[in-house]
């Protein structure tokens, strides 16, 4: 005679095993992501970068929408072939505390939040490290998930890369105009010269468009861009000029 009283117990006993399997699967996914992200950061501590998350995103967008500009060019150049004016210009424009912070500028973040609370236009508070992490490994967009991943990769690159390496990669993958990625491509496109020959004013002009390279143009710059260029040049001087860069920058 079958004991039916045991049947519900057998049915309920499968639920904990399913939960355990899901938790185990989730744990493996998390551990796999951590291992992969650490591996990528370690590899690119040494390897040149010829593509990035943002470049891939732009390529996909252009393939889906013919009105969007396709990625035209990107050339990897090491720090030795980038004029010292270029890293100084982007620091003066984007992140003047870059050499002293550990990836996050909490003072600027607090100011941006205060401005938002007062109804003012939100100010950008991302450091060069954060922008490098986002452009290199992630995608453009606004979500808590992406911001969380950005923070994770920012911590990793600050731990694994030198400040010079972060600047070197940032200058090679940042977008200076529609489809134009990297300081070498921008220098050749706008000035017909290699990045190692950029003057302070030319580097400042390229840095001036970084807040929005799809609206602000280095070619035939607007009055606003020219004013930003002049401001950046002054900030470069106040930071101490090229002598303020680490002796490790070529």
d(CA 235, CA 194): 24
| 70-102: pLDDT as tens digits | 777 778 999 999 999 999 999 999 999 999 999
Please tell me the predicted confidence (pLDDT) of residue 115: 60
| 34-63: pLDDT as tens digits | 999 999 999 999 999 999 999 999 999 888
pTM (2 d.p.): 0.87
- Look at residue 127 and give its three-state secondary structure: coil
Closest CA to 218 of 174, 249, 250: 174
| 170-209: pLDDT as tens digits | 999 999 999 999 999 999 999 999 999 999 999 999 999 9
Does position 116 have pLDDT exceeding 90, yes or no?
Answer: no
| 117-173: pLDDT as tens digits | 666 555 567 999 999 999 999 988 888 999 999 999 999 999 999 999 999 999 999
CATH node for 61-244: 1.10.3810.10
Rounded average pLDDT over 106-122? 66
Q: Which residues contact 29 (CB under 8 A, 6 or more apart)?
A: none
Please tell me the predicted confidence (pLDDT) of residue 8: 54
Domain boundaries, the chain: 61-244
d(CA 161, CA 126): 18
pLDDT band at 3 (very low <50, low <70, confident <90, very high): low
Please tell me the predicted confidence (pLDDT) of residue 13: 56
DSSP assignment string, 36-103: HHHHHHHHTTTS-----HHHHHHHHHHHH-TTSPPP-B-----GGGS-THHHHHHHHHH-TTTTTSSS
Quote the mean pLDDT of the chain. 88
């Amino acid at each position: 005679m079958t004991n039916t009283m045991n049947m519900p117990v057998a049915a309920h006993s499968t639920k904990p095993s399913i939960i355990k399997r899901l938790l185990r699967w989730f744990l493996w996914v998390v551990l796999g992501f951590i291992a992969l992200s650490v591996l990528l950061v370690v590899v690119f501590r040494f390897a040149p970068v010829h593509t990035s998350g943002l470049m891939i995103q732009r390529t996909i967008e252009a393939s889906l929408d013919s009105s969007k500009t396709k990625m035209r060019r990107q050339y990897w150049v090491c720090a030795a072939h980038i004029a010292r004016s270029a890293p100084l210009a982007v620091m003066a424009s984007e992140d003047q505390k870059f050499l002293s912070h550990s990836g996050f500028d909490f003072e600027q973040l607090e100011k941006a939040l205060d401005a938002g609370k007062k109804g003012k236009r939100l100010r950008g508070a991302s450091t060069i490290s954060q922008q490098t992490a986002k452009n290199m490994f992630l995608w453009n967009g606004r979500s808590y998930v992406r911001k969380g991943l950005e923070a994770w990769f920012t911590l990793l690159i600050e731990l694994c890369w030198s400040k010079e390496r972060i600047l070197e990669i940032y200058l090679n993958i940042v977008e200076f105009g529609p489809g134009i990625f990297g300081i070498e491509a921008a220098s050749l496109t706008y000035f017909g010269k290699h990045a190692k020959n950029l003057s302070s004013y030319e580097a400042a002009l390229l840095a001036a468009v970084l807040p929005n390279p799809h609206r602000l143009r280095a070619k035939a710059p607007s009055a606003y861009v020219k004013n930003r260029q002049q401001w950046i040049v002054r900030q470069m001087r106040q930071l101490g000029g090229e002598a303020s860069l680490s002796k490790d920058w070529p």
